[in-house]
Amino acid sequence: MKKLLRSFCRGWLLALVLCTSFWAAPAFATSLYEVPSASSDTRVVDLGEIISRFNEGKLNETLTDLANKTGQEVHFVTIRRLDYDETIDTFANKLFQQWFPTPESGANQTLVILDSVTNNSAIVTGEKVKPVMSDEIAKSVAQETMQVPLQKGDRYNQAFLDVSDRLVAVLSGEPDPGPPVVVDNVKTEGTFASPEETAQSNAIPWVIGLLIAATVIPMVTYYWYVR
């Protein structure tokens, strides 16, 4: 009876743990409806909590100034993680449609989203943004300008500041500064000396000396042993 009771308790606990894990995992995913509505006062929605307060204020100020000068509205969103059946691109498109349900409301809008778990990023732009910023540049903003600082150690603040600077330049009609330049600091050096280095070294006399020694020493040793 005790064994049966123990088995029942173990099975119940295992079922409880599995159920808890099953329901808790999606709970940490960011729902589309958790994201606050777009606002001209708050252009940065940091649900992933990865941007510092200082830089969040700086980004809001910069993007508001851009909107006042050009009419181009830019919004940054960070989320904690995606649901299992979602990708960063599908989430971005759904949120864009939720915020701007008509072509007119989304015409001058640019939405940049980052998932803080996978560091995947996406960008969605309205129809009146495309003549100013092509789809190729927009893709480069999300996949290069955003990603380069993240590849150097999750530099989220730097990533969003770089994206902001590039978007402001392009949407203001200035030349595109392009993505960050990736400098390869790894130096590959050959293990063989060049002919010049060989000529300047003392290797040849040493090699000749060793060859002579290798020939003479055995002969002398043999001669001494025979005598």
pLDDT of residue 211 exceeding 70, the answer is no
The pLDDT of residue 184 is 60
Determine the 3-state secondary structure of 111 from DSSP.
Answer: strand
The pLDDT of residue 26 is 45
**Burial class, 107, CB count within 10 angstroms (exposed 0-12 / middle 13-18 / buried 19+):** middle
pLDDT of residue 224 exceeding 70, the answer is no
- Average pLDDT over every residue of 108-130: 97
The pLDDT of residue 202 is 59
**C-alpha to C-alpha distance for 160 and 137, rounded to whole angstroms:** 16
Query: Using 50, 70 and 90 to split pLDDT, how confident is the model at 141?
Result: very high
The pLDDT of residue 94 is 96
pLDDT digits (tens, 9 = 90+) for 48-84: 999 999 999 999 999 999 999 999 999 999 999 898 8
Do 167 and 141 contact (CB within 8 A), yes or no? yes
State whether the Cα torsion 123-54-99-41 is positive or negative.
negative
Within 8 A by CB and 6+ apart from 221, the residues are: none
**Burial class, 157, CB count within 10 angstroms (exposed 0-12 / middle 13-18 / buried 19+):** middle
- Average pLDDT over every residue of 93-99: 96
**Number of other residues whose CB lies within 10 A of the CB of residue 108:** 20
Domains of the chain, CATH where assigned: 32-171 (3.10.310.50)
Query: Using 50, 70 and 90 to split pLDDT, how confident is the model at 5?
Result: very low
Of 20-24, 136-140, 151-155, 162-166, minimum mean pLDDT range: 20-24
The pLDDT of residue 21 is 42
pLDDT digits (tens, 9 = 90+) for 157-187: 999 999 999 999 999 999 999 999 876 654 4
- Average pLDDT over every residue of 138-150: 97
Query: Using 50, 70 and 90 to split pLDDT, how confident is the model at 140?
Result: very high
SS3 track for 16-83: HHHHHHHHHHHHCCCCHHHCCCCCCCCCEEECCCCCCHHHHHHHHHHHHHHHHHHCCEEEEEEECCCC
